[in-house]
Amino acid sequence: MSVVSFLVFAFVTSFTPGPNNIMAMAFANQYGFKRTLKFCLGVGVGCFLILIGCSSFNMLLGTYLPKVEFFMTILGASYMLYLAFRILKSKPDGKSDSGDKNISFSAGMMLQFINPKLILYGITAISTFVLPYYSSPSSFFMFSLFLAFVGFAATICWAFFGALFQKFLRQYRTQFNVLMALLLVYSAASILF
């Protein structure tokens, strides 16, 4: 296994914009970094569970993925469009009507189960970089843990960015919300097309 290729793939895929990173940044901007941490932890746990599933059932997923891929794509893209709508509709200073419900641990974790970027990332990383070289359950566990940690670190970085520039972004909240919503719409469109 080429460790450099594996690391480049893991970091580039994890740190590029996707639903986890965009939502973490938007939540941290609106609610602050500390309140967004539980969402980020949920993302990390959900990411780990998906990666363990990809490790354990990669061959099975390869067989059945074409049958569920369309459904998962539609569901994931629809959820991203819903999130984009929620960002556009959000009110300043944490007065959004959805509030803590959206930035909860469970919301972050559940997002992973319909996140096509993560599912495809897990299948690709495990099938390309792990399965050809490793076969022990402990190897699958360790690679899944590492990949989930990289994803968690990316989400934390995006949340930190949202919190760091909170004052600036609050001044331009409408423009920021439109940009974040458009990034989610772009993510959804890139998955569909």
Strand, coil or helix: 91? coil
Give the mean model confidence (pLDDT) for residues 85-113. 72
Give the whole-angstrom CA distance, residue 186 versus residue 193.
10
Please report which confidence band the pLDDT of residue 116 belongs to, taking 50, 70 and 90 as the band edges: confident
pLDDT per position as a tens digit, 30-81: 889 999 999 999 999 999 999 998 888 765 655 566 666 677 667 767 877 8
Q: Is the pLDDT at 8 greater than 60, yes or no?
A: yes
Residues in the chain: 193
pLDDT of 93 strictly over 60: no
Examine the pLDDT at 191 and tell me if it is beyond 80. no
Q: Which residues of 90-111 are buried (b: 16+ CB within 10 A; e: fewer)?
A: beeeeebeeeeebbebebbbeb
Give 190's pLDDT tier (boundaries 50, 70, 90): confident
Nearest to 20 by CA among 85, 77, 80: 80
> Encoding tokens for residue 84?
């984009």
- Span 133-145, average pLDDT: 89
Average pLDDT over residues 11-31: 87
**What is the distance between the alpha carbons of residues 161 and 153, in angstroms, rounded to a whole number?**
12
pLDDT of residue 173: 79
Beta strand spans in 60-145 (E)? none
Q: Average model confidence (pLDDT) for the chain?
A: 82
> Stretch 169-193: mean pLDDT, rounded?
79
Query: Can you tell me the mean pLDDT for 86-93?
Result: 70
